[in-house]
Structure 1
Amino acid sequence: MIRGWLPPLRWRFILVAVGVLAVVLAVFSVVLYVNLRSSLTEAAEDGLRFSAQPVIAEWEDGPSPPGGDGTGPPPPEPRDDPTASDEREQRELVDLARRLTTLDTAARIVSTDGTLLGDGVESGEEPSIVVPRLEAATYGDVAAAGEARMIQMESDDGTLLVNLIPLHDRDSGEVIAVVEIGTSFESVDLALGRLRLVLLAGMAIALAAVVLLMLPLMRGVLRPLRQMATTSQAIAAGDLDRRVQVPPANDELTELAHSFNHMVGRLDTMLATQRRFLADASHELRSPLTALGGGVEMLLLGADREDPAARARLLRLMNGEIARMGRLVDELMDLIRFDTNPQATLHAGAIQLRPLIEQIVEEVRLLAPDHRIVAAIDPDAASLIASGDADRLRQAVLNLCTNARAATAPGGTITIGLRRDGAASARLTVADTGTGISAEDLPRVWNRFYRADVSRTRAGGQGGLGLGLAIVRAIVDAHGWAVSIDSEAGVGTTVSVTMPATGAASPATATWESPGRPALLPIPSRPASH
């Protein structure tokens, strides 16, 4: 399947930042524009309303009486003549419309049925706008409601703001006409237009600035990632000595660089271990195969000269080499099983620890007749019972004893101990008086295929491939137990396995060498069989 094209990572970051900023600026601009338009509209409506209210209120209140100094309008004429009264009212309405008309405001007086009663434009001032006539029903609605109404409408001169105000009779208070006052909305439209241009230009400048500023910034931020990509390509080509330069800042990229270098280091170590394993496995397999091939060839050539003893020695040698290869295969298969499904390799049950240790001591004595094998069992721990796979625990202890035998010269002591470790735990130990392990090698003894002393493990064909302690660690981890090692070069090594255990304390039946120290219970040596 063909994947869609994606821009480089830095451009994706920039596009995301620009998109987020554009949305924020757009929302801010819309809110600002709406609020400012509302404020300007309210200001225009208030200006139109407040400019008309005093004049209309003065007209509705009627002319004031003459003052004491003779000032003031003349008294009203008698209203005996209806015609004269209508003419006077008409003149007053026209005068009202003229007073409400200015250079930027047009006013007219319209009856409730839509008849024009007075037009300020025709009576005097010539404003810059012309307010179109509305439908007659609109004036009737305003008169019926008795409340002013503000209307925005479009005309040839642009947007107009029209205020319709009911005009009340001086005597009865009834609505007799509607005052129509209109002004241009052009100044508000111009201000809003300039605001739109400023906001658009500001957004464009801000987005362009973000792009220009983020290009070098993202180049610097992503430089460690580019170095990692280059280093990864070099590592893929086989150069495992390459490392990524760690950025000075203490951030996620620094943590990523440390993790990357650590990963490469572990990969280098694993590959080196595998190369060493292949070399060791080749050597270990070549030796028995060579011996087997030589033995078969000697038998075919009749080198035994019909001597049963010589043939038996040759067959025993070949059988030993076959057993050595079998042990190697078994150890590798064990590790594969523990790697695949460790729990499936266990057959849990109750483990009587003391009988198991005594059995192991007997077996180790047969395998190492030239060593002193000692059981150091705390009387308080003689009845301890653990839960686990007895066969796997026996395998782990035998592996430890095999390593102890290889590290201890003939005549040395191998001690298998058991004691309580707290209220509900047991500690099983295997200690030797051998050469010990250097502090430099100690942290790596659990690694697979690792051997602290290659020359010693190869000497006499005793050592294996360095899988013994790895199998011990796998068995302990599969049970959820704990294992530790303590060693000093030239003194000896002690490996401890701690596991949950139960069992009542037994009365002390052994001899104690000193207070607080468990007695040594040596098992008598059997006479050597010939």
Structure 2
Amino acid sequence: MNIAKKITLLFAILSAIIISLLSGFVWYFSNDFAFEDFYKRLEARVNIAAQIKLYEDANNTAYAKMRNRYLERLPSEQEYIMLANEAPAKVDRELPISFYNRIKAGYVARYRTENHFYAGKFFKSGDNGYIVVVSANDPVGFRELKDLQRILIIGFFLSVILSFIVGWKFSNYMLMPLRNIIKSVKKIKAENLHLRLDVKKGNDEMSQLAQTFNNMLNRLETAFETQNNFISNASHELRTPLTIISGEVELALKTVDDQQKQEKALSKIKDEAERLEHILTSLLGLAQSGFNGKNQPWEEVRMDELLWEIKESVNQVHPNSKIEIDFSKLPDDEELLSIRVNKNLIKLAISNIVSNACKYSNENLVSISIESNANMLSIAVTDRGIGIPQTDIQHIFEPFFRASNTNDFKGYGVGLPLSLNIIRLHRGSIAIKSQEGVGTEIKVLLPAKG
């Protein structure tokens, strides 16, 4: 069942419930008012009958004449007077004992069967007590209630049908923007990811849904472009050493008699093979860093202690580097330094950043500082190296991209993209600030609670 039918059905059910409750109230109060009015008319006749027939009064004859002249006689109206201490006399039908007991208790008794009504009351005359009962039919009121009942039932079904029609029209009207969104989304495929949904003015749910789809399409388009660029760059980076190796092999085959040229060619082949192995290792790490991390071990890690391990590992690669760790901004609460991370991945990410700082700083001092607040832990790596040109900063995290001033340094342009992927895996971010010829500061921000 689609949403439009569900809304229509729900609308009809709610309308039926409301209309039935309203009809019930109308029926109850109309019924109560009609019966109450007729009972009061009977009770007035009970009092008049008792006055005329039980009490001696010079005005009784006048009362009787006025009653016959001005008080209409009700359909099938009958009067019954009986002694209270005797067995109840039989009226036109047998009345329940509770009716008489209520009269003897001093109350006005009422009883109804179909449209025939009874009213009775106790009167004291002389030494005797009497029960006066008046009965009559109310065909008009009963017929009006039947008509009202018929009208309410017909009105109920007509209202339900009308509410169903209105609900169907209303649901179709409200869901029309959603259908337009679905139709537009179905037109978007891999080859036309540049298409976007029309976002109407306003801040309603449909506008937010369309904007959310557009944001998702932006991310998908960026991901597709990044993938295409990655494949293109990876192909280029892999082709270069393979071309060199192929050329050197041909040269070595042609210079069989020249041992010196063969050794030079083999040495070149070895260097390019190592370069190719490094590129493949970096590509594998870059791909693995895109996993969701659910199948990888996560643990509580003291980040200040991890920095010492990073310093030692980087010193092994760059033995002449000068790395200084600044603990002046450590928080008073040591627990703020522990976060839940994948230790191997986070160590690799920060090591890449520190290693780059050492490589491009020409053995100048590299400073690592750590600080934490209630929500975020930050690690800043600052060097006094060659810096990054402003035009290159926006591309620095693209795979295989290298800044224009790094031609004299060996590298493959994979380290920072790998670090960024790992930091994002940990729901963190990287901020970079650099000035060419002055130095670079890269700050890693990680959520304190992991």
TM-score greater than 0.5 by the shorter chain: yes
Q: Which 5+ residue runs of structure 1 have no aligned equivalent?
A: 1-5, 65-70, 75-92, 117-131, 367-372, 501-530
- Residue 331 in 1 paired to residue 301 in 2? no
- Structure 2 length as normaliser, TM-score? 0.74
Match of 1:45 among 36, 39, 54: 39
**CA offsets 1:238-271 (integer angstroms, 9 cap, x no match):** 3212211112231222211111110111111111
Q: Read off the aligned partner of 2:386 and give its amino acid letter.
A: G
2:3 match: 9
Q: Read off the aligned partner of 2:318 and give its amino acid letter.
A: V
- Residue 485 in 1 paired to residue 432 in 2? yes
- Residue 431 in 1 paired to residue 386 in 2? no
Q: Secondary structure at the match of 1:344?
A: coil
Do 2:367 and 2:381's aligned partners in 1 also have CA atoms closer than 8 Å? yes
- Residue 249 in 1 paired to residue 202 in 2? yes
Match of 2:228 among 255, 262, 275: 275
- Residue 109 in 1 paired to residue 80 in 2? yes
Q: Read off the aligned partner of 1:150 and give its amino acid letter.
A: R
1 CA distance for matches of 2:418 and 2:266?
Answer: 31
Do 2:193 and 2:221's aligned partners in 1 also have CA atoms closer than 8 Å? yes
Deviates more, 1:260-269 or 1:326-335: 326-335
**CA offsets 1:46-89 (integer angstroms, 9 cap, x no match):** 2211232133134322234xxxxxx8879xxxxxxxxxxxxxxx
1:160 match: 116
Do 1:364 and 1:401's aligned partners in 2 also have CA atoms closer than 8 Å? no
Structure 1 residues 14 and 108 mapped into 2: Cα distance closer, same or farther (>3 Å)?
Answer: same
Structure 1 residues 100 and 198 mapped into 2: Cα distance closer, same or farther (>3 Å)?
Answer: closer
Q: Read off the aligned partner of 1:134 and give its amino acid letter.
A: R
Match of 1:36 among 26, 30, 33: 30
1:363 match: 317
1 CA distance for matches of 2:33 and 2:175?
Answer: 47
1:123 match: none
2:237 match: 284
1:513 match: none
Q: How does 1:128-277 map to 2 (within 5 A)?
A: 133-135=92-94, 138=96, 142=100, 146=104, 148-154=108-114, 159-165=115-121, 170-175=125-130, 179-204=132-157, 206-207=159-160, 209-211=162-164, 213-236=166-189, 238-277=191-230
1 CA distance for matches of 2:298 and 2:271?
Answer: 28
Q: CA deviation at 1:397?
A: 5.2
Work out which structure has the larger RCO, using CA pairs closer than 8 Å and 6 or more positions apart in sequence.
2
Q: Secondary structure at the match of 2:390?
A: coil
1:449 match: 399
Structure 1 residues 480 and 440 mapped into 2: Cα distance closer, same or farther (>3 Å)?
Answer: same
Q: CA deviation at 1:485?
A: 1.1
Do 2:349 and 2:422's aligned partners in 1 also have CA atoms closer than 8 Å? yes
Q: CA deviation at 1:20?
A: 0.9
Give the CA RMSD over aligned residues. Answer: 4.7
Do 1:291 and 1:321's aligned partners in 2 also have CA atoms closer than 8 Å? yes
2 CA distance for matches of 1:172 and 1:451?
Answer: 123
2 CA distance for matches of 1:100 and 1:379?
Answer: 108
1 CA distance for matches of 2:171 and 2:98?
Answer: 68
Structure 1 residues 140 and 397 mapped into 2: Cα distance closer, same or farther (>3 Å)?
Answer: closer
Q: Secondary structure at the match of 2:388?
A: coil
Structure 1 residues 143 and 393 mapped into 2: Cα distance closer, same or farther (>3 Å)?
Answer: closer
Do 2:293 and 2:425's aligned partners in 1 also have CA atoms closer than 8 Å? no
Structure 1 residues 73 and 287 mapped into 2: Cα distance closer, same or farther (>3 Å)?
Answer: closer
Match of 2:368 among 390, 412, 418: 418
2:443 match: 496
Question: Percentage identity across aligned positions?
Answer: 20
The total of aligned residue pairs comes to: 426
Q: Secondary structure at the match of 2:113?
A: strand
Greater Rg over alpha carbons, structure: 1
**CA offsets 1:464-503 (integer angstroms, 9 cap, x no match):** 3x53123323555678887431124676532234799xxx
1 CA distance for matches of 2:383 and 2:313?
Answer: 17
Deviates more, 1:353-362 or 1:33-42: 353-362
